[in-house]
A = this chain, B = another copy of it.
Amino acid sequence: MIKIRIDLAKNSYYIFLKNNIFNYVAKCHKKNYPGCRAIIITDNNVKKFYLTSFTNNLSKNNVKFNSYCVFPGEKSKSFHSLENLTDKIIKKGVNRNDVIYALGGGVIGDLAGFLSSILLRGIKFIQIPTTLLSQVDSSVGGKTAINTKIGKNLVGTFFQPSAVFIDPNTLITLPKKEFLAGYAEVVKYSIIDDKLFFNWLNKNSKDTFNLKSENIYKIITTCIKKKAKIVKLDEKEKKTRMLLNLGHTFAHALENELNYKVRHGEAVSVGILMAMKLSQKLGYAKKEDYYVLENHLKSSKLPIKLKQLSNNKNWQIKSIINKMQTDKKSYKGNIQFILCKGIGAAFIKKDIDTNLLKKTIEEFYI
């Protein structure tokens, strides 16, 4: 088993990596929270594969549990499901010593994490991420959120889990498209500050996509350690942590334009490429950087053009830019961009000319 400490003073916690981890999770619960209930939140997709295995292990260890299931997808990150879950959980009885488990991908982690942070003004929260995206990204750092009509993740909290348990074997049942969407975030980490890692990803993608255990462990641990380092420096995203949003100001606007009917990671794929294009136009990155990145995303079968995100969308440049300006990272109406001085060298930049932004996005039409 691999154990990684996320060092955040009194909010510190451990991430555990292990194949077939459910028995270990149940044993930890029994040991750390004797007599307390496990409240499991999952979605219909994940439920099919893993809920019984988890609850069987809880029962074997005499841990009482209740489970709650939401529909898969971003639509569940809403005030509506939040209220629904809250009412059901309170009705069954809950107290401040019970523990909420998020069993699923990023949506479940964001929703269950947010719920944990506000239910009875905060109860313990443990993540069991079952997608590549949530294993490498959303399970570290304590951001929780739901979406609003106007934008993504605009309502939420910073709330650290008490532990994260990752079972890389869950990736076997993950649809290929979902795996790839998570892979876009992996590529993002390499672009931020690790050219060597990017080169390794580029060279080893075949084995990675075949879920070679060694590759998966390397990818997950590398990304977690990178994120942990950044989050430690800046838990509340005052500055450094913004680097993790590379490509995300674009991606959030694109997702919103598509009414969230697109995978987050797919939007991120186009988003990081847009960020690299903008960096190139501003003279920070070279054409070569752009093409190396584009080629890797393309050969990974990740989207690199707007039309690949949606066949029948009539993209309106004004509307995209408007959405970017309401992103919560904008400061006094000024969007803060993460740009790159090439692969592995991201930085924060304000005051981007709107015309240049338009021209950049337009290049992704064809």
Tell which of A114, A148, A151 has the most Cβ of chain B within 10 Å. Answer: A148
Task: Say whether A292 faces chain B, with CB atoms less than 8 Å apart.
Answer: no
Task: Say whether A140 faces chain B, with CB atoms less than 8 Å apart.
Answer: no
Check B118 against A150 for contact (C-beta < 8 Å): no
Check A122 against B158 for contact (C-beta < 8 Å): yes
Copies of this protein in the complex: 2
Tell which of A150, A236, A328 has the most Cβ of chain B within 10 Å. Answer: A328
Q: Which residue of B lies closest to A90 (CB)?
A: B150
Task: Say whether A332 faces chain B, with CB atoms less than 8 Å apart.
Answer: yes
Contact code string A76-101 (vs B, CB < 8 Å = 1, else 0): 00010011001100110101110000
Task: Say whether A280 faces chain B, with CB atoms less than 8 Å apart.
Answer: no
Check A87 against B149 for contact (C-beta < 8 Å): yes
Q: Which residues of B contact A330 (CB under 8 A)?
A: 95
Cα distance A118–B113 in the bound complex, in angstroms: 12
Task: Say whether A145 faces chain B, with CB atoms less than 8 Å apart.
Answer: yes
A331 CB contact (under 8 Å) in B82, B95, B118, B143:
B95
Contact code string A309-336 (vs B, CB < 8 Å = 1, else 0): 0000000000000000010101111000
Q: Which residues of B contact A60 (CB under 8 A)?
A: none
Q: Which residues of B contact A149 (CB under 8 A)?
A: 87
Task: Say whether A283 faces chain B, with CB atoms less than 8 Å apart.
Answer: no
The distance from the CB of A336 to the nearest CB of chain B, in whole angstroms, is 11
Cα distance A97–B336 in the bound complex, in angstroms: 14
Check A90 against B157 for contact (C-beta < 8 Å): no
Cα distance A158–B82 in the bound complex, in angstroms: 19
The distance from the CB of A242 to the nearest CB of chain B, in whole angstroms, is 11
Check B151 against A90 for contact (C-beta < 8 Å): yes
Q: Which residues of B contact A122 (CB under 8 A)?
A: 157-158, 236
Check B156 against A118 for contact (C-beta < 8 Å): yes
Contact code string A171-186 (vs B, CB < 8 Å = 1, else 0): 0000000000000000
Task: Say whether A4 faces chain B, with CB atoms less than 8 Å apart.
Answer: no
Q: Which A residues, 318 to 366, have Cβ-Cβ distances below 8 Å to chain B?
A: 326, 328, 330-333
Check A155 against B95 for contact (C-beta < 8 Å): no
List, sorted by A's number, 17 A–B pairs whose CB atoms are closer than 8 Å: A35-B332, A79-B79, A79-B82, A79-B83, A79-B86, A83-B148, A86-B155, A87-B148, A90-B150, A90-B154, A91-B150, A95-B333, A114-B118, A118-B155, A121-B328, A122-B157, A122-B236
